[in-house]
Structure 1
Amino acid sequence: MNNNNETPEFDYIIVGAGSAGCVLANRLSADGKHKVLLLEAGPKDKNIWIHVPLGYGKLFKEKTVNWMYQTEPEPGLNGRQVFQPRGKVLGGSSSINGLLYVRGQHEDYDRWRQLGNTGWGFDDVLPYFKKAEDQCRGGDEYHGAGGPLPVSDWRHDDPLSEAFVKAAVEAGLPYNPDFNGATQEGAGFFQTTTRGGRRASTAVAYLRPALARGNLKVETSALGQRVLFEGRRAVGVEYRQEGVLRKALARKEVLLASGAYNSPQLLQLSGVGPADLLKQHGIDVVLDAPGVGNDLQDHMQVRIVVRCAQKVTLNDVVNSPLRRVWAGVQYAASRKGALTIAAGTSGAFFKTSPRLASPDIQIHFIPFSTDKMGEKLHDFSGFTAHVCQLRPESRGWLRIRSADPSAPPKIHINYLATETDRRAFVDGLKTLRKILAAPALKPYSAGEIHPGSSVTSDDDLLEFCRQNGSTVYHPTSTCRMGNDPLAVVDQRLKLRGIEALRVVDASIMPDLVSGNTNAPTIMIAEKASDMILQDAR
C-alpha cells in the first residue's frame, strides 16, 4: 500500500471508543509494537455527570453525549416509538449507562457454542470476564482481581432496597449474594462498575491509562463515513472531523466497535449489507450481506410504581432543598449516599414457568419513581420495580435511512411479536406483584400507582405492557456471529467475505444474553484483543 504525507497509516483503526473500543485500544497498544488509531464520533468525557453514578439520569436526553435514537413505530406497542439512548462520547454507553455489572447466565454462552460458535462457551469466556475484572470482594472461581474494570458493592444504606430483597425471599425466591457466581437465580443486590463512588467507564478504566502511549492516537468528534476497500479488503476509514473529510489507512485491520446500531449502519454505508437496500440509496455494493442489520434484539422493560408510605426515597431527597444539599455534601465528602444510586440497587432473577431451565425474568428495583425514565421525579414518595424479559424471541432490524452518515438509521425492534414474549411479561408482572405485596415491603407500601389495582386480568396486563413498555437499552446481534447464510462474522469476529475487517461489540452476539450487556461487551473485546494479536504474529 502506498502511503503519502496526507494520509496517515496505522496498524489498526478502531471505529468507536465505547465499551468495546476502549478495551481494544488499550490491549492492542499495550506492547508498543502496533500503531493504533481510535476514532470517536462524540466528545471527550468531560461532562461532570458522567462520573457521578446517579448522573445517568442527567445524561438520558443530553444530546452532546447521546445519539438520542428513536425506533420506528412499534406494532406490538400500539404504534409507539421507543427512545433509544446510546453513548456518543469517550466510553460510549459505558459513560451514560446504569452502571450494573451483570454477565448473564452460564447457559447463554453455552448456547452460543451449541449454535456452532466454537470457543464461546462459558468455560471459554469466563477467563476474559476475570481478566477484565477488579472485584472488590477479591478473586475466586468466578471473579478476577487486579483487572482494569472495577466492580464494587453499593455505597448507600437504603432500607427500601433491603426490604425488596427480603420481600422476594418471602415470596419464594432464594437469596443470591452474587448474580455473577455459580447461579443467577434469586434475589440480591447488584454490583456496579464504580470505584470509590465514581463511575468506571471503559474510557476511565481502559483508555485513560493508555493515553500516554506514543503508539496510540485518539481522535474525538470524528464521525465515521465509510470503510475504504480495495476489492474486498478493508484498507482504511474515511471520517469527518470539524467539517473536514479525513482518511486514515490500516496496514493490518479495521475494527468496528460502534455498537449494535452504528456498526451495521457504517457497514451499510460502506457497501456491505443487503444489496437492494444499498442500491436504493445509490451505494456501490462491495458485498451483498443480507445479515447486516438483521436479527436486532433488545430487552424490554415494564415498570410498576408504588407510592411509598415513608419519606425514604430519592424523590424525597430531590424534592427537599435541604436534603438535596446534604446529599451533595455527603457525596463530596465520602463518595457515598444518594448520588451513588445506579439504575438498579437490588433485584431478582426468576423463572415464570417450572419448565424453564433458567430464569427468564430480571427485576430491577430502584428507590425512586417517575413517569418516564430521564424525566422529573414524582413530587410524592415513590419507588419502582421493572420487569425485563431476558431472552425475547422477537427479532427486528436496522436499515440506513439514506447515504448520509449523519442521518439516524431506521430501527425496528419488533417488541412483543411472539406469544412467548407476551406471556413472559404478563406472568412476570404477576410474580413481581407478589413480591411487592410481601410482608417486608408492607411498612413502605401506600398502594400501587402504576398500573394500579384496576389492572388485573391477563388482557389488561398485556395492554398495560403495550402502552407502557420501553427499552432496557440492550440492543444486540445486528452483526451476528455464526455459520449460517445470515451470519455476519465468524468465530474470530472476522467479517465473512471481507478481509482485514472485524466487528467487536454487542452486535456480534449470536443472541441476547440474560442480563445487562455492558460486562459481556467488555468480555467480547478482551477475547477479540487476544485473537487479533494472535493473528498478527
Structure 2
Amino acid sequence: MSTYDYVVVGAGSAGCVLAARLSENPDVRVMLVEAGGPDTAQEIHVPAAFNQQFKSDLDWDLDSEPEPGLGGRRAYLPRGKVFGGCSSMNAMIYMRGNRADYDDWAAAGATGWSYSEVLPYFRRSEDNQRGADDFHGVGGPLTVGDSRSDHPLSAAFVDAAVQAGHKRNADFNGESQLGVGMYQVTQRDGMRCSTSGAYLHPALDRPNLTVLSSAQVHRVVVEDHRAVGVEIARGGAIEEVRAEREVILSAGAYESPKLLMLSGIGPAAALSAFGIDVVRDLPVGQGLQDHYMTLLNFRTDVESLMTAASAENAALLENERRGPLTSNIGEAGGFFHSRSGLRAPDAQFHMAPVLFHQEGLGAPTEHGLAFGPCVLAPTSRGQVALRSARPDAAPRIVHNYLTTSEDRDCIVSGIRNALEIAEQDAATSVITGPFDVPSSDSDADILAWARRSGMTLFHPTSTCAIGSVVDPELRVLGTAGLRVVDASVFPSVPRGNTNAPTIMAAERAADLLREAM
C-alpha cells in the first residue's frame, strides 16, 4: 500500500493543474491517477483533427439515457480519456463566461467565487499572446492566442453577422461579451495547448509527483467520515492508495458524482437500492446542466476544411505552424440576447468552416460550413445516477435538454437569428444551398429540427455543486479530507465554453489546499 499527501483522481483539465501546482512544494507527495494514458496521439495535438478522437480509445464514449425533450433520442457524450482529459479533445476555445455568472454564484452563497475574486486566477493561468491588460495575463502556463487558420468562410460568417446588426467583438473575455468575432484558442505555435502540455508535462520530472496511468479508481475509501485513500484497479489487480491529507476528485461532471456515489456519498435511497452503505446523504448527481447546440449546415463552393489534411497543408503546419490544420473547427462565433430585458447573453453561436453534423460524427463528403446557437443559460436541469454498483458501468445521464419553455424559446430564437445571418450578402456570397437546415421557418419546424439535429456542446457541469454537495472551499459536506475540483462544482453552467473556468477553479483550489496545509 503506497501513501501520499494528496491523491488526485483524474488527469484532465483540473487534475493536471492541481498535480502541477501542489507538487511545486517539494515537501508534498502527490499521486495523480488517470484511467487513460499519455497524450501521444497525433490527433490530440493537430487542432483540426480533434473529432477523430470521438469513439476511439481516447474517449469515454458515453451516451445519455433517452432524452425526454429530444423525442427520446439518446445524446452522444464524448469525454477525453487521456492525459489532459477534455482539454486534449475539445475545440480549444478560450472562453471564461460572463461576469454575471460568478457574481450570481457569490450572491447565492458561493463565497470567494465572484468575478472580481476569480479574475486573478484566470489571469494567473494565462499566457495571452496579445499581452497583458486588466483582463488578461502573460507568463502563465496556458498559451492563449489568435487562430492561425484565417479561413475565409469564418470571415464571411462574421461579416454576415455584422450585416445582420451584431457588433464586432475582438475580445469576448474583456469588457463585454456581446457581439461576433473570431475566438481565441488554447494553442501554442499552432498546436493544441492542453492542461497536460501546459501544466503536467513540465512537472513530470519532479520526484514528489507520481502519475499512475491506465488506472481505474473504483471508490474513495472513507473511514470514520474521513477520506483516507482510493481503491484502484490496474493491470487486473485491485490496490489501495492512501492519502494522508486529502483525496481530490477531478474526474469531471459525469465521473466525479459516480465515484462519490460508489463511495457511499449521494442520495441515500438510490444508494441503498444498489446495496451501497450510505456514508453521507447528499444530492450528488443532481442539477446537471449543459449547453445544447444546433448547427445549420450549408453547402459552399469555397474550399472548406474537408480537404485540410493535404500534403500542402501538412507542410504548412510543419514549417510555418499555420494554415487549415491549425483550425480549431469552431473558429468564430458570438453572443446574443434572444429577447429584450436580459442582463447577460443567453445564446452563443459557433461557426465551423466545414460541415459538422450528426453530433460531430458525420464525415464531410462535400464542401460546406456550419453555424448556429446553443442555449447558453439553460433553465433545464438533469441528473447523473448509478447504473449499477459495478465501477466499470457507465453512469445513467439525463440532461433534460429543451424540457423548459424558456430553453425551447431560446433555441428557436437563436435558429431564426442564424437563418437571418445566412440571408446576408456576405453569407450568400459563399453559400450555394442548404445541407441540413429546418424544413421551414415555422416555430414547429424549427423546434422539430432542433430536437432532431442538436447535440451537446461538451459542457456538463453542476453535479457536485457548491452549496449542495461541496462548500465554497470545495470540501465535500460531512466528509473530511475529500474535495471535488472540476466543472461539477459550478452552481450553474457558465455562459461560455467551460475549459477556462475549469482551469480557473483548479488554480483557485490549489491555493485553498495550500492554505489548509
TM > 0.5 fold call: yes
CA distance in 1, matches of 2:435, 2:218: 47
**What residue in structure 2 maps to residue 4 of structure 1?**
none
What secondary structure sits across from 2:371 in the alignment?
Answer: strand
Distance 1:154 1:356 in 2: 31
The answer to whether the aligner puts 1:530 opposite 2:511 as a matched pair is: yes
1:305 to 297, 310, 318: 297
Question: Of 246, 251, 273, which aligns to 1:258?
Answer: 251
- Report the 3-state secondary structure (helix = DSSP H, G, I; strand = E; otherwise coil) of the residue aligned with 1:531: helix
Superposed CA deviations along residues 264-289 of structure 1, whole A, max 9, x for unmatched, are 00000011111111111111111111
Counterpart Cα distance in 2 of 1:372 and 1:99: 21
* 492-501 vs 53-62, greater mean Cα deviation: 53-62
> How far apart are residue 334 of structure 1 and its match?
1.5
Query: Percent identity at matched positions?
Result: 46
Alignment equivalent of 2:284, drawn from 283, 288, 292: 292
Q: Tell whether the 8 Å contact from 1:100 to 1:343 is kept in structure 2 after alignment.
A: no
- Opposite residue 9 of structure 1, the aligned amino acid is T
Tell whether 2:344 aligns with 1:358: yes
2:272 corresponding residue in structure 1: 279
Shift of 1:504: 0.3
The residue number in structure 1 matching 2:413 is 427
Shift of 1:370: 4.0
Mapped partners of 1:437, 1:255: distance in 2:
50
From 102, 118, 133, the equivalent of 1:140 is 133
Deviation at 1:376, TM superposition (A): 4.6
Alignment partner of 1:391 out of 353, 374, 377: 377
Which residues of 2 match residues 49-88 of structure 1 at below 5 A?
A: 49-62=43-56, 64-88=57-81
The aligned counterpart of 2:326 is 340
d(CA) in 1 for partners of 2:121 and 2:53? Answer: 30
RMSD: 1.1
Contact 1:58–1:374 (CA under 8 A) maintained in structure 2: no
Deviation at 1:447, TM superposition (A): 2.2
Shift of 1:325: 1.9
For the 8 Å contact 1:76–1:414, the answer to whether it is kept is yes
Amino acid at match of 2:397: I
1:204 is matched by which residue type in structure 2?
G
Given that 2:295 and 2:356 are in contact with CA atoms closer than 8 Å, whether structure 1 keeps it comes out as no
How far off is 1:52 after superposition? 0.8
Does the C-alpha gap of structure 1 residues 470 and 245 become closer, same or farther in structure 2, counting only changes over 3 Å? same
The residue type equivalent to 1:460 in the other structure is D
The residue type paired with residue 121 of structure 1 is S
Alpha-carbon distance, 1:408 to partner: 0.3
Deviating above 4 A after TM superposition, structure 1's stretches of 4 or more consecutive aligned residues are none
Structure 2 counterpart SS, 1:152 = strand
Where 1:252 maps in the other structure, the secondary structure is strand
The alpha-carbon deviation at position 451 of structure 1 amounts to 1.7
| 1:90-489 equivalence runs, <5 A | 90-289=83-282, 291-308=283-300, 310-315=301-306, 317=307, 324-452=310-438, 454-482=439-467, 487-489=468-470
> What's the offset of the Cα at 1:448?
2.4
Partner of 1:32: 26
Counterpart-to-counterpart distance in 1, 2:245 and 2:370: 49
**Structure 1 CA distance, aligned partners of 2:357 and 2:349?**
18
Structure 2 residue aligned with 1:18: 12
SS at match of 2:429: helix
User: Residue type of the partner of 1:60?
Assistant: F
C-alpha displacement of 1:418: 0.4
SS at match of 1:465: helix
In 1, Cα distance between the equivalents of 2:509 and 2:38?
25
Aligned-partner Cα distance in 1 for 2:93–2:444: 32
Q: Distance in 2 between matches of 1:214 and 1:223?
A: 23
TM-score between both structures, scaled by the size of structure 1 = 0.95
Q: Are the counterparts in 2 of residues 345 and 365 from structure 1 also a CA contact under 8 Å? A: yes
The TM-score normalised by the length of structure 2 is: 0.98
Say if 1:228 and 1:234, in contact at 8 Å, map to a contact too: yes
User: Which 5+ residue runs of structure 2 have no aligned equivalent?
Assistant: none
Structure 1 counterpart SS, 2:495:
coil
**Aligned partner letter, 1:159:** P
Q: Tell me the matched-pair count.
A: 517
